[in-house]
Amino acid sequence: GENVEQHPSTLSVQEGDSAVIKCTYSDSASNYFPWYKQELGKRPQLIIDIRSNVGEKKDQRIAVTLNKTAKHFSLHITETQPEDSAVYFCAAILNAGKSTFGDGTTLTVKP
């Protein structure tokens, strides 16, 4: 089955700096890669996603890149703010919603 590795497990940045979280996946048939943000005690929220036929996608301060050949994708957050502090999960979806999640990255943005 699919295996998703996510790094780093924790990340601390100063407000205004950029943050990058990386994930690798094993099954080349996976074709959809969402990112979720989960604040303490709350449900995961979809923040951005990318399909396998796209190399990069951007939404304001958040961007995701995908390298299908290397089977890795990354989340980039620019101009970080304290409210960006949360756990971020990547996922790889094989088909029909069959999702495999990474282990999560705890991002702390220091004011």
Helix and strand totals (H; E) in the chain:
0, 11
Binding site for another protein (CB under 8 A): 1, 32, 34, 42-46, 49, 51, 89, 93, 95-104
Give me the least distance between CB of 98 and another protein, in Å please: 7
Which CB sits closer to another protein, 1 or 111?
1
Give me the least distance between CB of 17 and another protein, in Å please: 25
Which CB sits closer to another protein, 97 or 111?
97
Indicate the burial class of 14 (C-beta count within 10 angstroms; 0-12, 13-18, 19 or more): exposed
Give the C-alpha separation, 94 to 111, whole Å: 39
Grouping H, G, I as helix, E, B as strand and the rest as coil, residue 58 is strand
Give the C-alpha separation, 80 to 41, whole Å: 22
Which CB sits closer to another protein, 16 or 55?
55
Which CB sits closer to another protein, 84 or 102?
102
Give me the least distance between CB of 43 and another protein, in Å please: 4
